[in-house]
Amino acid sequence: MTGAPLPPLVQIPPDVRSLADYERRAPAHLTAEAWQHIQEGSGTGQTLRANLEALARRGFRPRAMADLRGGGTAIDLFGRSHAAPLMLAPVAYQRLAHPDGEHATIRAATALDTGTIVSTLSSVTLEEIAESADAFAGEMGKRPAPLWFQLYLQPEREHSLALLRRAEAAGYEAIVLTVDAAIKLSGMVLPAGVRAANLAGMPQPRQTATPGGNILFGTPLTEGAPRWDDLAWLRAATSLPVLVKGMVLGEDALRAVDMGADGLILSNHGGRVLDGLPSALDMIEDVIEAIGGRVPVLVDGGFRSGTDVVKALALGARSVLIGRPQLHALAVAGMPGVAHTIHLLRTELEAAMAQLGCAKVAQITRERLIALR
């Protein structure tokens, strides 16, 4: 990448037919710093490879001549219908990719009836995002798609509570507590015009180490990392469904459910926080078995096609979250790009279901998979 980034396209090029095509085009529409931030993982990329390898190890066993009449992809989660088992994952600082940032993404999600999880670190306030969703849904004569809020705990609990109350007041329908990303190294300096809009006015202490002492331990980075008592506090503080995002171990998942978590999101944070984490795809069955199927389990981490989504559903996931591809599409073509990305995934999902002989999401079971290697 050299020179200034290209402006977003006003039409989707005919050669953009997959999420990989958006990823291929995105660098030309971003600064080098923004592209590095979006794509960065930690370490040597073991976790990123694990995500791809877990998907590649699994193939399909289609059922011939199935009755597909009356088929569909709708699912229910926490009393709300979702058009498909897909949600947009919480992705920070979307104005790095496009001036409209989260406004463009939420309009795309609304148009495609796709649930969205808004990041604490959104570059547009959570209230403005909810207002965009409501306004755009009103223009289309429909109800807004499900809107959840992802919570990063703040150093002072009163500030976490303030974020929670703002989300409740703005009409968010669930809270997602992320527990795996408090200790995440990043060298990105936000450019002018991009900020953590929800945290305006809240103190953000510097992560400074004592000379000659520990580098991370004893700093706000580790002292404020989520603990089990934080989950207990959050569960008592809201009547909304609470999901915990970032767990990979069955025993941790069981403890979270025992403490009142209404759902789990298995995630390795796309390889951004700890290299060497397993793919969520390899952990789903263990976690579901550990919790006895008591709450829905969602997954994210490297899913890039409708067939990827089917594999997660077959292993027991209720829905799949899509992260980085939001920014790829946003950079390339703004709101139409994100809408097209969702459309591509849903089209690929329905085509795969039809080929497998699954008219409904509930028919996508473990028996539809086969080990390839």
Provide the 3-class DSSP secondary structure of residue 145.
coil
Q: Strands 115-118 and 86-88: what pairing?
A: parallel
DSSP alpha helix (H) spans, the chain: 19-25, 32-39, 46-56, 102-111, 126-140, 157-169, 220-223, 228-237, 250-258, 280-291, 306-314, 324-356
Catalytically annotated residue among 29, 98, 269, 328: 269
Task: Identify which of 331, 369, 350 has the alpha carbon closest to the alpha carbon of residue 105.
Answer: 331
Q: Could you give the count of Cα atoms lying within 13 Å of 128 in the half-sphere of its Cβ?
A: 14
* Dihedral sign for Cα atoms in the order 152, 282, 329, 351: negative
Q: Strands 263-267 and 369-371: what pairing?
A: unpaired
In the residue annotation, 269 being an active-site residue is answered as yes
From residue 144, give the alpha-carbon distance in Å to each of 115, 177, 325, 351.
9, 22, 22, 26
Question: How far is it, in rounded angstroms, from Cα 257 to Cα 113?
Answer: 28
DSSP conformation class of 349: H
Q: Tokens standing for 269? A: 């944070």
**Torsion angles phi and psi, residue 366, rounded to 5:** -55, -30
Task: Identify which of 86, 83, 78, 162 has the alpha carbon closest to the alpha carbon of residue 120.
Answer: 162
Q: Tokens standing for 366? A: 């473990």
DSSP conformation class of 210: P
Across the strands, what pairs with 265?
A: 245, 298
Name the residue with tokens 């909304």: 240
Q: What Rg, from alpha-carbon coordinates, does the chain have?
A: 20
Name the residue with tokens 């990827």: 308
Residues with a catalytic annotation lie at 269
